[in-house]
A and B are shown apart, each in its own frame.
Chain A
């Protein structure tokens, strides 16, 4: 009987929470790295291999590139930073109908293969896309050995 008198906003927020749990649970159906935290969904990452590099692409719109922290430590690439919500900068007397975009601190970690050279990394941020290109060590690339 008590449920009849709950204000409508409470019921809707429970449904929203359920929906976000289900969304996060269905996102990772493949086996993922032990460090991949299903709750950390910002920024969205793609990682690819080329013969010479490891390419990491992060969908990270609305960031100030100077506030982004990209570090490599012990074979791990760490991308972290803070994203402020634009809604807080609007007038206080607004009604917010949707607040789906992520805001706050974020931290994503990618484990790197051993042949990546930590001194040879480039990062580029354009149109909200962060691209980190990590080059592999020269000495670890396949070498052909000639037979005399």
Chain B
């Protein structure tokens, strides 16, 4: 079962699609926090614009992919390159209590924020103790 939250469809002018381009991948750093309502995930994806970002859930695996586009002038010689990759990819295994159909994704200034709520049944519930 695949739920696509956002889609990468990058058809080149000569008909080549992005899946035929070989990328060197970097693992983006993430911050993950869990609250009673669900999970919040922040990922650093600098250089990725909304159309080059893919967030999808395959079964219980969350996959985050993005393609780095950095406009560079034509005749540039790289003399110092700490970043020599062209794409980001990271995946996570989600637990079953998460409601994957309600994931919210927000991309701003290269930071992806994902909010993954828990299903209603999985949220902690207080049980009232009756005194008899």
Contacts and interface: CB of A to CB of B under 8 A. Distances in A.
Contacts of B77: 48-50
A86 B113 contact: yes
Given A86-B31, A86-B113, A101 B44 contact: yes
B29 A46 contact: no
Interface in A85-130: 85-87, 90-91, 93-102, 110, 125, 127-129
Contacts, number: 122
Contacts of A62: 44, 108-111
Given A50-B75, A95-B34, A97-B33, A127 B80 contact: no
A90 B110 contact: no
Contacts of B21: none
Contacts of A41: 82
Interface stretch (B6-14, B46-54, B96-104): B46-54
A93 B48 CA distance: 31
B78 interface: yes
A61 B31 contact: no
B29 A100 contact: yes
B33 A50 contact: no
Nearest to A90: B33
B109 A48 contact: no
A144 B109 CA distance: 44
A91 B34 CA distance: 10
B79 interface: yes
Interface in A32-76: 32-33, 41, 43-51, 53, 55, 57, 59-63
A109 to B, nearest CB: 12
B70 interface: yes
Contacts of A87: 31, 33, 42
A50 B108 CA distance: 30
Contacts of A143: none
Nearest to B108: A62
Contacts of A129: 46-47, 70, 110
B19 interface: no
Nearest 8 Cβ contacts at the A-B interface: A128-B110, A61-B110, A128-B46, A100-B29, A59-B46, A47-B80, A61-B46, A62-B111
Interface of B: 29-36, 40, 42, 44-49, 70-73, 75-84, 108-111, 113
Interface of A: 27, 32-33, 41, 43-51, 53, 55, 57, 59-63, 85-87, 90-91, 93-102, 110, 125, 127-129, 131
